[in-house]
Structure 1
Amino acid sequence: MASPSSMSPATVSRRGSRSPSKKALMNPSFADLPSDLLRMIMSHLVLEDNIHASGACKSWCEAAVSVRVVEKHPWLMCFRKRGNLVELRDPLQWKLYTLSLPELAESTVCYSRDGWLLMDKTGSKKDVFFFNPFSRELITMPECELEFDTIAFSCSPTSDNCVVVAIRFTYYSATISTCHPGDDKWVTATFPCHGIGVYKRSNLVYQNDRFYCINAAGFLSNFHPSSGTWSGYCVHRLRSPYMYDRNQYGRKAKAVALAEKEGELFVMYACMNEKPMVYKLVSMKWEEVSETTLDSLTIFFSFHNSELRTNLPWMRSKVYFSRFGYNRKRCLSYSFDKSMYNRKRRASYSCDESMCRPGEESRSWIELCRPQILWIDPPPKNLLDLMLSSSHNN
């Protein structure tokens, strides 16, 4: 029988299980690290380093492959009401970076795509221009005579295929102006509204040479810039209870957003404190996305643009909204796995963590998305060191 002195917590095991050998205890290996810790370490590596690390041993390979991120998640960009400083935050690490952009003085953001911002001068939507906040490249556009409600572009303005579409809705009509970077003027035409201008509308989404828009009542319309045609899309009308049941959901903050992923259209209806409802367009019909599909999705929702990702292991099965949480500690998000929104609240003059289940009221959260905050592609790594960073949250 072994003496007590020869026994230690590290060598004691249940009867029938094998104890670690003395040699293993004296010579620990990185391969013996717990799998959760290995995955956490691997998640902080860039793709190239992740691939190199996966060749070390079997346990490292399994951990590296399980968290390998091919896609990059977007960052939040917040425009301050005064001054030239713009805030950038990684929704995963939540570290604050500030970027001085005097070029955007007295300007408001309209849309973001492929790392570019589409801006207009405050108080005048006629003065529209492109701006890349990281390269500082600015591309001007001719004066737009249309006081538009929504605007979007198809791809990077440096591409020959880029087209900008601006739309003004009324109860009966949709007035649409189009322009390519480098053109001398916008081309404008007016079409029947097809019912989309009556209710709250989503952002514009470009897919397969068309711009799509859906409203709270479920009307989907599209504009084909090549032929200059605007039409209602022949899909069944999607009726979200968040928009129709005014007795139960009438006073809560609501939002509707379109997103495109690999040629497929998705729409999400959100209502404060309720589970977001996500649908996918399949064979000209909206189908609610299954729990299995939601588990692989990450949705980034904003007033100006919405993004979908399918390969973000540490952020999957969530919706991230373009709104800072209480005390600016994180952004508002919803977890499909936990069926909860994250929340911060005051309790005994201190800040503690709480979770609100669907149906619970929270009057301090009156908006899901803020117009001055949007999602943008992350900055290049070589630029981060040059930006003013802070480990403290404002």
Structure 2
Amino acid sequence: MYGALNSLSCVIFALVGPPKGELTTIITWHYGQDEWCCMEFNNNCPFPVAHNNHVFIDGEFYCLGRLGNLGVFNAENNAWRIIDKSSPIYSDLDQAPELASEYCYLLECNGDLISVFRAVNMNYIQVYKLDRSKMSWTRLEDLEDLTLFLDFITSIARALPHKSYNNKLYLPRLRDETSTATFYYNMKTKMHNHDYKCLKEPYNCVWLEPNLCSHI
């Protein structure tokens, strides 16, 4: 979604597609419309939809596919395209793990697009930054002063004042139904801080960035 629900510029956007990504169905709603708009596009190359959030940047919605390629939707003219210059991270679905065994995330930071791929068993985490001059993914081994907060609904990148939190990726994990655990992956050590298999990931969780200015 882009814009507040009561804003004239508000657009709600969603997309679905078959496992092999031969076509994409996009559903939108603009402020003031009485019903949803559903459009179907035949893809010029496979774009298997991933379960992650989309990023609105430069007036368009950017979507990360399971192969690591990018789809872009322009809500003004209802145009959908797959960026062919952005080489997929995986060349085909035989190389890309099944949806149940790998998760990927897309987020924006200071105008840059960052993608994160992780195995469900945390055997590896890969972070990429889109080189927009070449429209290609560049592997990042270090986040420097950035901290990433990841989940399926929304992902956030922030430069935190305390260095002990930097260069880490945080994911929501629960020890049980009543207590929470702060789970993170350290990009420097390439290790995570808890026994990942003992923690559960809740459904419909979301990272929130509170506005504390009104309380100071």
In the superposition, the TM-score normalised over structure 2's length comes to: 0.80
1:265 aligns with: 113
Residues 1:328 and 1:275: Cα distance change in structure 2 (over 3 Å) = farther
Match for 1:324 among 165, 168, 174?
A: 174
More strand by share: 2
Give the superposition deviation at 1:211. 0.9
- Residue 121 (structure 2) pairs with residue 289 (structure 1): no
Note the 1:208-227 alignment, pairs <5 A: 208-227=58-77
Post-superposition CA distance 1:104-139 (Å, at most 9, x none): xxxxxxxxxxxxxxxxxxxxxxxxxxxxxxxxxxxx
In structure 2, stretches of 5+ residues that fail to align are: none
Distance 1:158 1:252 in 2: 36
Post-superposition CA distance 1:14-65 (Å, at most 9, x none): xxxxxxxxxxxxxxxxxxxxxxxxxxxxxxxxxxxxxxxxxxxxxxxxxxxx
Report the 3-state secondary structure (helix = DSSP H, G, I; strand = E; otherwise coil) of the residue aligned with 1:267: strand
Residue type at the aligned position of 2:203: P
2:173/2:180 contact within 8 Å kept: no
1:49 aligns with: none
Distance 2:35 2:50 in 1: 30
Give identity over the alignment, percent.
23
Match for 1:307 among 156, 178, 182?
A: 156
2:203 aligns with: 371
Residue type at the aligned position of 2:37: V
Report the 3-state secondary structure (helix = DSSP H, G, I; strand = E; otherwise coil) of the residue aligned with 2:144: helix
Residues 1:190 and 1:273: Cα distance change in structure 2 (over 3 Å) = closer
**Aligned Cα root-mean-square deviation (Å):** 3.0
1:303/1:370 contact within 8 Å kept: no
Residue type at the aligned position of 2:31: P
More helix by share: 1
1:295/1:337 contact within 8 Å kept: no
Distance 2:130 2:15 in 1: 23
Report the 3-state secondary structure (helix = DSSP H, G, I; strand = E; otherwise coil) of the residue aligned with 2:203: coil
Report the 3-state secondary structure (helix = DSSP H, G, I; strand = E; otherwise coil) of the residue aligned with 1:190: strand
- Residue 193 (structure 2) pairs with residue 342 (structure 1): yes
Distance 1:230 1:288 in 2: 26
Post-superposition CA distance 1:80-109 (Å, at most 9, x none): xxxxxxxxxxxxxxxxxxxxxxxxxxxxxx
Residue type at the aligned position of 1:295: E
The count of corresponding residues between Structure 1 and Structure 2 is 206
Distance 1:251 1:232 in 2: 20
1:302/1:370 contact within 8 Å kept: no
Distance 1:202 1:329 in 2: 22
In the superposition, the TM-score normalised over structure 1's length comes to: 0.46
